[in-house]
Structure 1
C-alpha cells in the first residue's frame, strides 16, 4: 500500500515537473548576451569595407603568375580600384568599417562644376575566383555579377560569392583648367587625420606656399613628389617609419610610398584625401591582360561640387580634359636602307563623337596610315631608300581643331650618319633656338639648306672622333605659325646625309581687357577685351577666363570663347567679397595644339562690399504700434554696424534708424487701422559698402477666427477663418509646446487641420507671420468617457468591494473625477485614482444577490458626462482550501529546486536609478528657507552636503548658509551630484536673471532696451507679437523685486523663472 502511495506521489510529481517545464521553460532558458546563432557560426559575416581593417596594404608585393585578369571595354578608364584606406596609424594604413548595401547600383555623384563625362561598360574575367572586393572604377554605377553589393562610403562593390566574371557600368569626369583651379576642398573631416610631426607639417606647408586654390595645392604636392623622388625599391631600416624614410632619407620608393606621402601631405594642407589600391590599365576598349605588374597605389582628394578626384604623382593629371591620349613606346628606330620597322602607337581615352583621327606620315614617304579608332596600333615604318634622319610625325586632331603631335625618330645609317639632339623644336617667333647635330666620324663638315629658319651654323670637332654641328634657328616675323619640317643636308666629302627636323613655330600673345577701377560685390558686368600677337595677328579660337584674387585665394569669375581675337566675358563679382583691393586677372587659353602661347593681364581693382537688407517682402502686423525689425548685412551675411537707415511709408519720409553691432535695427510705426502701405528702406552707402534699397509691403490685419475652439480628444481639429486686410499670404500656426503648421491664405481665407491631441486640457495656438504674433486662440480638448465595472462577482464576510474603471476616448485612464454609484438603493460618491480606478465597499446580504449597479459621472471642464448600468453578484466569501494550497506549495518548491539544481538562469540586469529632486524642481532658495530634497533610489540612499555626510533616507529638509553648495547622493556604487544656491532674497535672483537673461534676448530681437523702461520693453515685445502672458508676468515680478521694496515669494520667483524660459526659449538656467 505504501509502495503504491509512493509511486502515485512520484508520478504526480513528474507530471507537475513536466507541466512546469512547459510553462516556465521559455522564461528560464535564456541565452547569454553575445551568443552566436547557428547561422552566424556557419556563415560568419565579413567586415564591410576592405577585407581587413587590422593591417594596411603591403608596401611591396612580388609578382604572382596566378593574378591574371582580362579587361574589356575600358575605353576611358585607367584606374580600377580594389581597396580604400582611410586611417594612418603607427605607420600603417587601415580601413574603417562601414555599411554594406544589398544593391548592385550606386547613383553617380551630382557634379555641379562644368565638366565633360564619358561612360564605359567594362567586363572583367579572372583566371581564379574572386571573393570580396571587386575591381571597379571610381564612379561605378552598376555591377552585374553574382551576389554583388555596394559599399557607398568608399565607392566600392564586393561579393560574398566566388565569381570569375562580372561586368560594370562606369562614368568618368574631366574638367577644363579654369574650373579645376576654382575648386574648394570639401567638408570631409574624417579624411583629415594625419601624423602630428613637425618635419612633416613644415614640408607640407612649404610645398604649397603660394598656391591660391585647393586644387593648386594638390597639384603642387603631386609635382613635388614627381620631380624630387624616383621610382625604386628602397627598403627602410628595421624600426624606421617608412613614410619619413621615403620623404627625408631614401627619396626612392614604389607607388605605395608616393601615394601614401601624397595623402599625408594633402591632409596636412587641409585637403581630405584617402589612399586607394588597385591596378593601372590602358584606357582602351579592346581586351587587355592585367597582371600583378599593373598593381598601383594612388590618392583621391574630395572637392566640393566635384566629388573625389584622382591624383597620382607617377602618371599625368587625370582630371584635366583632353580629347585623347597619344603616345609611342619606342624611342629610336634604326633601319637599314630599303628596310622597314614597326612602331607601336597608343591612342587612348578618345572622347566620344569628337571626330578624332591620327595621321601618321614621314618625309619622302608621305602619309603612312590613318588611325580612326582608339587602341594599340603597330604601324609598319619604311622603307626609306636613302640614308638619313626621318622623324615619324603622328598628328592626332579633332573636328574642333584640337590636336596633339608626337614624333618618333628613325635613323637610316650610311657612310655618313648624323643624329640631332632634339626630336622636334618649339621655336618662338622672333626668338632663336640652337640644335646640336652629332656627325659620326672626323673630317670637314658642311651644311646645305634652303630653310629660312636657319640663321647660322658652325662645326666643332671633338676628341671622340665626332663633329658637333650647331645650327641656330630663328623665325622671322612673317614666317607662318605651325608645324614645318626643315630639310638640312649634312655633307662630308662626297657623302650627303639628309636630316629632316620638325620645327613648330609658335607666337606670343597679349591680352588687353577693359577692367573698371572700382567694382561692387554682387555686380554683373560684361568684360570685353582683345587678344593679339606682337605682329598684330589675332588668334581665331580659344577661351578667355577671368579670375579675381586677394593674394591668398583665386576665384573664377567667368569663361567665354575667343573669336577672331575678341572676347566678351559676362561676369558676376562674388557677393561674399569683403571691401578691399583685389587683383583681377584675364587669361587667354589657346586650344590644344594651337600655335599661340597662352597669356594674361592683371589689373588692380577696388572692391566695394555689397550691402543688403534682410527683411520679409510682406510684413503683417496688428493695428496699433507696429515694430519692424530687420538687419543690414553684407554679401556674406555678416552684419554692417553703425549704418544710418532711412525709412519711408508710401514715399513719405518717416525717420531713420542706426544698425547695432549685430546689424539689426528696429522701426516703430503707428498704424491705427487695417491698412496697407509700402515701406521703403534706404542705406545711402559708404566708402566701403554699396548703397542698398528695399521695398516691402506692410499690412495691418485682423484674423477672424474664434477665440476658443473645442475639439475632441484623439480626433483632428479643423480650423478655418479669414484674414482681413490681405488677400494672399503665408502664415504659421504654432501650437504650444512645439508643433508648427503652414497656412496658405488665398483670397483672404484659410483652413487647416491640427493633428489629434492625446491628452485633454487647454492649448494655446498662435498665428504668426515671421516673428510677429497676429492672434492667439485657445483649444479646449475634451473627451467622452466610458465607465466599466471590473467586478463581475463580489464576495466578502461583511462588505464586498466593487471596482470601476473610467477611460477616455483613446482608452487612457481618467483619474481625479467623482462617480455617483447606486447599488440597490445604497448610494455613495467615489473618486478615481491615477489609474482611473474607483472602489466601493458595499454591505454583503445573507443570501447571494444579483444587484443592479448604476454609475453616473456629472462631467468636468474637459470630460463629458457619462453613465452606466451594470449587474453584479454579491455573496458571502467562500472558505479557503488550505489543503490544496499546501499541496500546490510543496509541488512548486520541488519544481523550483529541480530547476535550480539543473541550471541557474542568468539574472537579468535591471537598470538602477538615482535622482535628486528639489522642491519645485529649481535648486535656488533664499536665506533661512528650508530646502526640501527627495532622493529616488532602489536601496537606501545617503546624502552628503559639501562633502560631509548629512544622513540616510529618501526625504530631507536642509537649511543652508548663503552661497553655492554641492549636494551629493550615494546609493550603493551610484553617485549623483547637484548644486544648490542660497541667496539673501528672491528679489536678488529676479533682478539678476532679468538683467542676465531677459534683457540681452530682448536686445537681440530688436528692442532698444537701453532707452526704455521695463514696462515699455514689455509693450514693445507685445507689439511685436511675442506672448504677452509670460512677458507681463515676468515684468510685474521684476518691478516688484526692484522697485517696490516688498519681498518676492518662492512661488512668485518660480513663476518669473518659468516665464523667462517660455519667452527666451531656454539657454539661461539657474
Structure 2
C-alpha cells in the first residue's frame, strides 16, 4: 500500500512538471541567437581549409574584426599568418579546401642553398576566447594548444576549441642575397592560374623584362609597386570597376591588400607560383607587445625549388635577405619650435644569434642623446635647439665585430625668419672629387651670405630666384667616413644654421687575373684583389658570375682576405654551350663602409662538356652483341662526326664515328657465355671536352619454361635462370605494354605477373635493354559454367532442354561441342552464337524427374566441365473446359488477393524471358547479321522498333544504321533491349573512348587534357588500376583512330569488354 502511494505521488509530480514546462517554457527560457549546442561545445569541428568560408569578402575596405592580444618572444618574426588565398575568381580571392591532419608538429623544409636559421618561441595571450586558424609564422614547427590540427598545404595550424592563450615554436630562414640569384621557381601549377587579361600581362612583362633570374623577377615586381604606388588604408574602387585594375591603372593608391593582390597576379603572370596571405605584421622583438586589429596586414608568398615559400611585401623591406639586425626609425623628419623637444621611436629588431648590436643617437654637435645594445622598442627625446636651423639627428647602429653598419639621419627643422631647406638630406662626396648641394632660401629678399669652417666648403652660388648651390670639394687626403658639416646663412632677416651629413667615400677597384680556359660542368678558379687607390681593402665580399641565355649564373661568393685578395672556385653549369663568356667579379663592401662597390669582367673561352651516354651493363645472348650510345654536349646538343676509340678488356679494338644525331653503335662477336669490359674514349675537340665511358658486357643463356598455363583472374609465377649473370636486373615485357623489373640473384629469378582478365596467349619477353634474352608464353584459360535454362520442360510430343555455356566472366561460349547424357544415351550438340545448346527429347506419358549430365571437354582456352542437373519433363495437358466456370468464380473471389501477389510472382516455378545477343554485345557493323536468341517457356514473338518480325527463338536480322529497340513478348512477359548499328567499328571505338573512358579517367583523378593515350594508360596502371583492360582499349583505340585498317568485330568485342570492366557499363549501349 505504501509503495502505491509513493508511486502515485511521483507520478503526480512528474505530470505537474510536464504541464508547467509545456505552458511556461516560452517565458522561462530565452536562448540567445547563435548559441552553440552542447554537442558543439563538447565536440567542436571545423570546416576544411582556412578558417573562413573559403572566400575573401569583396573588400572595398578589408574587414577588421576588433581584438586585442599580447605577443611575446617574436624576436625574429614579423609576419603571423592566419589565412591563405589561392584562386582569383571574378575579382575575388578564394581558397581551395585542404586536408588537415591531427598533429601539432611538422618538420621545416629542407633548404638546398646556404642559409641562416633563427628560432623563436612565441607566446600569444588573447583577451577574448579564440578558435579556428591560429596566428603562426610561415615555418612553425610546433604548436602548444588543445586539439591542434595542421594544414600542411598552407603551412597553417588550427583548433576547434576556444583558446585564451597558446604558444608555438618556429624557424625563420634568411639568405646572403647572392645565393638567391640562382633559385628557380617551383612547379606549383595551381598557384599559376591568372585571369586572361592582356593589359595585366603587358605590365608584368614590362616590369620583369630585364630580370636575370626568377628571384630578381619577384624583386622587380615588389620594387615597382613600392616605388610607383602610394599606401592608403581605406580605398575602394568605383562601382563596376575591378579593384585590382583600378589600383594598378587608375588610382595608384591602395591598402596592403591591394599591394599584395597585385604582386600575386603579376608574379603568376611572370611564371612565379604565388599566393595571397592574410595575417598580422608585428615588431620582431622578444619583448611582449600589444597587437590589435590595426596590425592586420596582407602580403604574398612565392615558391622556389631550393628554398620553399618566401615572403614578399611591397610595403616592408625584403625579409629574406640576411642582416645582422634591422633598424626602424620614425618619424623620418620633425619640425619643432625653438627649445621644443620631440620623440623618436627606434626599433632594433631581428638581431641575429651571436650578434652584439649597438645603437647610438647623436645630435649634430656630437652630444650622445641615447645608446642601447638590446633588441626592443625605444623612445628617444630630441630637440632643445634654441636657434633656427636644420639639425640632423644621427642614428648609428653597428654589429660589433661583424662588418655591418647602418647610419640614419632624422632632420629636425627649427624655422625662423630665415629658413633654408636642402634638396638632399645628405651628400656623398668622392675623395678627390666635388659635389653640389642645392638649397631653397625662404624669408630673405636678398642672397644671404654663407659662412662655414668646413674644409670641404669652397664656394656658394646663386642659381636663380631663392635657390642657391653649395660647392663641396674633398681632397685626396680627406678622411673617409661620415661627418656633419655646418653652414651658416646670414641675411638682414636673421641667421639660419644648416647642418648637412656628408659621406666622404672612395671608389674601389677590382683587378682580375684572367683564367686561361674553362669547361662546362668543371671548376673555374677566379683570382684577383680589391684596392681603393693604393690601399688594399681587406673587408667585404666578392661575387663571381656570368650570364648565359639572359640569366645570371652565380659561380661563387666569398670574403675578401685581409690583404685584399680573393680566390673563388666555382663550377660552371654543365649546360653551358661552347663559347666565350664574360666572367665578372663584383666587390660588395660592408654595409655602411665608405668604399663604393665596383666590378671587373674578363672574357674566358669555355669548352662545352662532352658526355658519352652508354649503358653501364649490356646483357645479351652469345653471338653478335651490339653496344649503342650517343655523344652529346652538356647543353643536350648532339656532337656529330666525332671519332670514338674503344678497348675490349684493355686491348685497342677499333674506332667508330658518331652520326649527325650523335649516335653510334659498336658490334662485338662473343661466342660463349662470357664477361668483358668495354672502355670508350672521346679525345675532345676545340669546342668540347674529352669524355669516356665503361660498359660491362655479359653474354648469357636463359632457361625459362616455354609455356605456362593459368586461369583468368589468378596470378602467374614464372621461374627461370640466367646463366652467366650472377646478379642484376632484367625486364619482363608483356605485350602490349606492361613491364616488370626482374631481379636476378645467383643466376635465378622468380617473377609473379598480375592476373589476366581475358583468355588467350600472352607473350612474355625477357629483355635487357633492347636485347631479347628469352621468351615465354602464358596461356590464360577460363573456367566454364553450364546453366540450365529449362528446369521444367513440357510439350505435346517433344520438349526442349536448353543449356547455356558461359566463361568465368559470363560471356557465352560460341560454336563449341557439348555432350549431353540423358537416360544412358549420349547426345552431341553445338552451342550457337549466344552460347545456347538445345536438346529436343520425346515427352513421356507422365511427368518424369530426369537426371541430365552435360559434358564440355574443353578447348584451347576453356577448361573442361561436367555438370549434372535434374529436369522435370512432362506432357502438356489439355485445358479442362468443364471446370472453367468454377475456376472463373473462384478467380473473381480471389482477384484482389492475386493482384496484390502479382509483383512477387506465384509460388512455384520461375518464368524466364531473356534476349541474348551474339557475343553478348548489342552493337553491329552495317551489313552484319544481328544474331540473337530469345529464351522463354513458350514461343516468343519479336518486335523491332514496334514492328513484329516473327515468332521463334533464334533470329537473324539485318538492320539499318542507327539505334533500334528490340522487344520480345512471351505470354504476359515483355523484355526490351537496344541494338546499335554503326558504319565502322573504328568510329564506335573512338566515340566510346572519348565519351565513356576519358570522363571516367578524369573522375579517377587523371588530368587527361594534354596527355597522350599511352600517358593516360601509364598513369592509370601506376594508380593500380588493372593494366590489361587499360592496355587493351588503348591499343585498339590508337589503331581505330590513327590506322587506315578496319577494326574487326572480335577486336571491338575486346575493346567493349575492356570499357565495361573499367567504367561499369553505364555509358555504353
TM-score, normalised with respect to structure 1 = 0.68
Which position in structure 1 is the counterpart of 2:899?
893
Map 1:777-796; keep pairs closer than 5 Å.
777-780=776-779
Distance 1:568 1:800, change over 3 A: farther
CA deviation vs aligned residue, 1:783-830 (integer Å, no higher than 9, x gap): 8x799999999897999999999999x999996887877677555667
Q: 2:570 & 2:503 partners in 1: Cα distance?
A: 35
Which position in structure 1 is the counterpart of 2:301?
300
Distance 1:932 1:543, change over 3 A: farther
CA deviation vs aligned residue, 1:368-391 (integer Å, no higher than 9, x gap): 766443221235679999999684
Q: 2:463 & 2:865 partners in 1: Cα distance?
A: 124
Distance 1:472 1:139, change over 3 A: same
Which position in structure 1 is the counterpart of 2:523?
524
Displacement of 1:587 in angstroms is: 1.9
Which ranges in structure 2 are unaligned for 5 or more consecutive residues? Answer: 1-38, 905-919, 934-941, 947-954, 966-976, 988-1044, 1056-1069
Displacement of 1:1049 in angstroms is: 13
Q: Is the 8 A contact 2:60 2:236 kept in 1?
A: no
Displacement of 1:285 in angstroms is: 3.0
Displacement of 1:733 in angstroms is: 1.9
CA deviation vs aligned residue, 1:105-128 (integer Å, no higher than 9, x gap): 665444333333333344445555
Q: Is the 8 A contact 2:850 2:873 kept in 1?
A: no
Q: 2:525 & 2:305 partners in 1: Cα distance?
A: 27
What SS is found at the alignment partner of 2:536? coil
What SS is found at the alignment partner of 1:226? helix
Q: Is the 8 A contact 1:341 1:380 kept in 2?
A: yes
Q: 1:220 & 1:781 partners in 2: Cα distance?
A: 65
Q: Which moved more, 1:572-581 or 1:331-340?
A: 331-340
Displacement of 1:771 in angstroms is: 2.2
Q: 2:672 & 2:311 partners in 1: Cα distance?
A: 66
Q: Is the 8 A contact 2:46 2:160 kept in 1?
A: no
What SS is found at the alignment partner of 1:318? coil
**Which of 552, 555, 560 lines up with 1:554 in the alignment?**
552
Q: Which moved more, 1:889-898 or 1:874-883?
A: 874-883
Q: Is the 8 A contact 1:193 1:267 kept in 2?
A: yes
Q: Is the 8 A contact 2:924 2:980 kept in 1?
A: no
Q: Is the 8 A contact 1:941 1:969 kept in 2?
A: no
Q: Is the 8 A contact 1:916 1:978 kept in 2?
A: no
Q: 1:591 & 1:48 partners in 2: Cα distance?
A: 45
1:764 equivalenced with 2:763 (yes/no)? yes
Map 1:706-721; keep pairs closer than 5 Å.
706-709=705-708, 717-721=716-720
CA deviation vs aligned residue, 1:765-788 (integer Å, no higher than 9, x gap): 2211112211112235678x7999
CA deviation vs aligned residue, 1:59-96 (integer Å, no higher than 9, x gap): 324877x3444433333222334444444455554555
Displacement of 1:522 in angstroms is: 1.9
What SS is found at the alignment partner of 1:507? strand
CA deviation vs aligned residue, 1:292-312 (integer Å, no higher than 9, x gap): 433333333333333333322
Which position in structure 2 is the counterpart of 1:694?
693
Which position in structure 2 is the counterpart of 1:1026?
none
Distance 1:1049 1:177, change over 3 A: closer
Displacement of 1:502 in angstroms is: 6.2
Which position in structure 2 is the counterpart of 1:211?
211
Which position in structure 2 is the counterpart of 1:318?
319
Q: Is the 8 A contact 1:526 1:569 kept in 2?
A: yes
Q: 2:501 & 2:117 partners in 1: Cα distance?
A: 35
Distance 1:230 1:977, change over 3 A: farther
Q: 1:484 & 1:235 partners in 2: Cα distance?
A: 46
Distance 1:440 1:715, change over 3 A: closer
What SS is found at the alignment partner of 1:113? coil
Q: 2:746 & 2:607 partners in 1: Cα distance?
A: 43
Q: Is the 8 A contact 1:447 1:491 kept in 2?
A: no
Q: Which moved more, 1:296-305 or 1:104-113?
A: 104-113
Q: Is the 8 A contact 2:924 2:982 kept in 1?
A: no
Which position in structure 2 is the counterpart of 1:568?
567
Number of residue equivalences: 896
Q: 1:197 & 1:811 partners in 2: Cα distance?
A: 55
Displacement of 1:245 in angstroms is: 4.0
Which position in structure 2 is the counterpart of 1:1023?
none
Q: Is the 8 A contact 1:707 1:776 kept in 2?
A: yes
Distance 1:954 1:687, change over 3 A: farther
Q: 1:864 & 1:243 partners in 2: Cα distance?
A: 72
Distance 1:802 1:144, change over 3 A: farther
Q: 1:654 & 1:834 partners in 2: Cα distance?
A: 65
Which position in structure 2 is the counterpart of 1:271?
272
Displacement of 1:348 in angstroms is: 1.3
CA deviation vs aligned residue, 1:625-652 (integer Å, no higher than 9, x gap): 3333333333244544565655554544
Which position in structure 2 is the counterpart of 1:511?
510
Q: Is the 8 A contact 2:766 2:774 kept in 1?
A: yes
Q: Is the 8 A contact 2:325 2:399 kept in 1?
A: no
Q: Is the 8 A contact 2:405 2:592 kept in 1?
A: yes
Q: 2:893 & 2:613 partners in 1: Cα distance?
A: 84
CA deviation vs aligned residue, 1:1021-1049 (integer Å, no higher than 9, x gap): xxxxxxxxxxxxxxxxxxxxxxxxxxx99
Displacement of 1:684 in angstroms is: 5.1
Q: Is the 8 A contact 1:648 1:655 kept in 2?
A: no
1:394 equivalenced with 2:391 (yes/no)? no
Q: Is the 8 A contact 2:800 2:838 kept in 1?
A: yes
Displacement of 1:325 in angstroms is: 0.8
Q: Is the 8 A contact 1:631 1:664 kept in 2?
A: yes
Which position in structure 2 is the counterpart of 1:374?
375
Q: 1:721 & 1:361 partners in 2: Cα distance?
A: 88
1:404 equivalenced with 2:406 (yes/no)? yes
Which position in structure 2 is the counterpart of 1:609?
608
What SS is found at the alignment partner of 2:596? coil
Q: Is the 8 A contact 1:550 1:581 kept in 2?
A: no
Displacement of 1:326 in angstroms is: 0.9
Q: 2:371 & 2:771 partners in 1: Cα distance?
A: 76
Q: 1:195 & 1:795 partners in 2: Cα distance?
A: 73
Q: Which moved more, 1:93-102 or 1:218-227?
A: 93-102
Which position in structure 2 is the counterpart of 1:729?
728
Q: Is the 8 A contact 1:192 1:270 kept in 2?
A: yes
CA deviation vs aligned residue, 1:832-857 (integer Å, no higher than 9, x gap): 99999999899999999999988877
Which position in structure 2 is the counterpart of 1:283?
284
Q: Is the 8 A contact 1:645 1:659 kept in 2?
A: no
Q: Which moved more, 1:765-774 or 1:136-145?
A: 136-145
CA deviation vs aligned residue, 1:684-725 (integer Å, no higher than 9, x gap): 555544443323223322113333345677665554443333
Q: 1:240 & 1:791 partners in 2: Cα distance?
A: 74
Q: 1:896 & 1:873 partners in 2: Cα distance?
A: 26
CA deviation vs aligned residue, 1:411-451 (integer Å, no higher than 9, x gap): 999999999987765554444456789999999875457xx
Q: 1:431 & 1:335 partners in 2: Cα distance?
A: 35
Which position in structure 2 is the counterpart of 1:262?
263
1:114 equivalenced with 2:114 (yes/no)? yes
CA deviation vs aligned residue, 1:546-568 (integer Å, no higher than 9, x gap): 22213622122232333222222
Q: 1:845 & 1:746 partners in 2: Cα distance?
A: 70
Q: Is the 8 A contact 2:312 2:319 kept in 1?
A: yes
Q: 1:646 & 1:241 partners in 2: Cα distance?
A: 68
Displacement of 1:330 in angstroms is: 4.1
TM-score, normalised with respect to structure 2 = 0.68
Distance 1:664 1:897, change over 3 A: same
Map 1:102-251; keep pairs closer than 5 Å.
108-127=108-127, 133-143=133-143, 149=149, 151-157=151-157, 165-194=165-194, 196-232=196-232, 237-251=238-252
1:472 equivalenced with 2:486 (yes/no)? no
Displacement of 1:600 in angstroms is: 1.7
Q: Which moved more, 1:683-692 or 1:546-555?
A: 683-692
Displacement of 1:346 in angstroms is: 0.4
Q: Is the 8 A contact 1:787 1:804 kept in 2?
A: no
